[in-house]
Amino acid sequence: AQSVTQLDSHVSVSEGTPVLLRCNYSSSYSPSLFWYVQHPNKGLQLLLKYTSAATLVKGINGFEAEFKKSETSFHLTKPSAHMSDAAEYFCVVSDRGSGYSTLTFGKGTMLLVSP
Amino acid sequence: GAGVSQTPSNKVTEKGKYVELRCDPISGHTALYWYRQSLGQGPEFLIYFQGTGAADDSGLPNDRFFAVRPEGSVSTLKIQRTERGDSAVYLCASSLGVAAQVDTQYFGPGTRLTVL
């Protein structure tokens, strides 16, 4: 079985300051991990994915995440927040043991960016 | 190119009615997934198609829910005797369906279903 825990339901930052969205996972197999972003009334968009290559993964819009197996974490970071980053972010795990990639989502973290 | 499309974008129905939700995947994608997102929650898996067949329907909550993909492209999620608890956003995703790698799933904008 696989699961994801997003440690914060809401994170508030000021524009230009760093962003940290925390995620811990549980998986029976070597997991693949993703971060998706959901803007209001828009579809889910893939930010980045980890698939057992480099542990530091760079995504779109300046986001990156580091896979830490010893901590079972996959936190999302960005050095400097922009107003357009305000959205809901989902950490997602895929358990490859099933042979295909059914995704298990966390409950989401709402990122609020103030001017 | 065109992404995943879903119709309708919004559906309001009365308790006990039947509804159909449509998903048009990215051309050439053999894998298709349905998820349900309730208010304040992350999406939850419902059913997975590889080609025309439902390879995994373990996420369907009960036998009122059914999905088809007769020609391996467009899929329809069908809900009979709708209940107020079925109100949610229903998301469709598609991927290449290559077993040897982790497919990226591309999501549609969703159908917001409201059962009165």
pLDDT 10s digit of each residue in chain B, 116 long? 589 999 999 999 999 999 999 999 999 999 999 999 999 899 999 999 988 988 889 999 999 999 999 998 999 999 999 999 999 999 999 998 776 566 788 999 999 999 99
Q: Do A101 and B3 touch (CB under 8 A)?
A: no
Whether B93 and B32 have beta carbons less than 8 Å apart is answered as yes
Q: Do A105 and B42 touch (CB under 8 A)?
A: yes
Chain A residues closer than 8 Å to B104 by CB = 46, 49
A22 touches chain B (CB under 8 A): no
| DSSP-assigned beta bridge partners for residue B10 | B112
pLDDT score, position A53: 74
Whether B96 and B26 have beta carbons less than 8 Å apart is answered as no
Q: Name the A residues in 38-77 with CB < 8 Å from any B CB.
A: 41-46, 49, 51
Q: Do A44 and B91 touch (CB under 8 A)?
A: yes
Q: Do A43 and B41 touch (CB under 8 A)?
A: no
pLDDT score, position A63: 97
Minimal C-alpha gap between B35 and chain A (Å): 9
Residue A92 CA to residue A101 CA, distance in Å, equals 11
Residue A45 CA to residue A54 CA, distance in Å, equals 22
B2 touches chain A (CB under 8 A): no
